[in-house]
């Protein structure tokens, strides 16, 4: 068995390769895997996602990953990181296509952005946007107020306010980052957000005291 600290979950729905490449750029030893033993040995599991909520949950159930991931999350020793749809899977449920139960790790529900934005804002929300920090957290230690991050979504995680650590405005504000103990989610794509995304991921790993090979990332 290959044992590594960083594992990008391979469940057939997501941009796992680009996430792994970004993580390698910041000094992480990372593999892409869905093997239960490798997931259980990881310090960090990254859950990507591109597509629909119900399709993603179906794939996780079919591969027996819901139970395994929940077991790993509950042990409290592994950082679980969701990106875009991967973050939305942390919710209790989603109204996308049909009402679908999520992992239920963070209280809240996934809803369509059309319920929050005006007709002047096109959907999906695609492009660069800034973060409005809601908490003073170490994971933002390398993030500047002017930093922009790349979004591509039509649905948003309407998360409980106590677990929302950053919001983004697009017509109206919505949760852009959520955090509950060892579960952290990004509505945007850090791996597509150039230097700002890499610095945010470094700050995340630093805040959880997770080792990597130090690589200089400019603070510009």
How many alpha carbons lie under 13 Å from residue 53 in its C-beta half-sphere? Answer: 26
Residue 210's pLDDT is 94
Conformational region of residue 200, where left means phi above 0, alpha means psi within -120 to 50, and beta covers everything else: alpha
Told to judge if 189 belongs to the known catalytic residues of this protein, a careful annotator would answer yes
Residues 204 and 184: their CA atoms lie apart, in Å, by 9
| Nearest of 217, 216, 212, 214 to residue 28 by alpha carbon | 212
Residue 202's pLDDT is 96
**Helix, coil or strand: residue 204:** helix
Q: Cα 31 to the chain's mean position, in Å?
A: 17
Residue 94's pLDDT is 96
Which residue in the list 22, 28, 84, 165 is annotated as catalytic?
Answer: 84
Told to judge if 191 belongs to the known catalytic residues of this protein, a careful annotator would answer yes
Which residue in the list 22, 28, 153, 191 is annotated as catalytic?
Answer: 191
Q: pLDDT tens string for the chain (220 positions)?
A: 555 799 999 999 888 999 999 999 999 999 999 999 999 999 999 999 888 999 999 999 999 999 999 999 999 999 999 999 999 999 999 998 889 999 999 999 999 988 776 667 788 999 999 999 999 888 999 999 899 999 999 999 999 899 999 999 988 889 999 999 999 999 999 999 999 999 999 999 999 999 887 655 554 4
> Which residues, listed in sequence order, are joined to residue 79 by a DSSP beta bridge?
44
- Residue 182: count of CB within 10 angstroms of its CB: 18
- Token pair listed for 167: 């919001």
pTM score above 0.85: yes
Which residue in the list 6, 125, 153, 189 is annotated as catalytic?
Answer: 189
Residue 214's pLDDT is 62
Told to judge if 165 belongs to the known catalytic residues of this protein, a careful annotator would answer no
């Amino acid at each position: 068995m290959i044992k590594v600290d960083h594992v990008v979950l391979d469940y057939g729905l997501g941009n796992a390769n680009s996430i792994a490449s970004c993580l390698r750029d910041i000094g992480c030893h990372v593999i892409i895997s869905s093997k239960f033993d490798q997931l259980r040995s990881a310090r960090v599991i990254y859950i990507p996602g591109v597509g629909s909520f119900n399709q993603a949950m179906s794939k996780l159930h079919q591969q027996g990953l819901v139970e395994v991931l929940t077991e790993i999350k509950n042990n409290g020793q592994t950082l679980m990181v969701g990106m875009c749809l991967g973050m939305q899977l942390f919710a209790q449920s989603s109204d996308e296509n049909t009402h679908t139960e999520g992992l239920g790790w963070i209280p809240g529900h996934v809803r369509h952005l059309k319920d929050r934005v005006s007709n002047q804002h096109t959907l999906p929300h695609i492009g660069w946007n800034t973060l409005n920090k809601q908490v003073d957290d170490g994971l933002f230690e390398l993030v500047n107020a002017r930093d922009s991050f790349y979004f591509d979504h039509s649905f948003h995680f309407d998360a409980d306010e106590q677990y929302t650590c950053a919001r983004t405005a697009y017509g109206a504000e919505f949760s852009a980052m959520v955090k509950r103990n060892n579960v952290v989610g990004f509505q945007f794509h850090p791996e597509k957000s150039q230097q700002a995304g890499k610095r945010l991921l470094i700050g995340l790993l630093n805040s959880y005291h997770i080792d990597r090979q130090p690589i200089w990332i400019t603070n510009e």
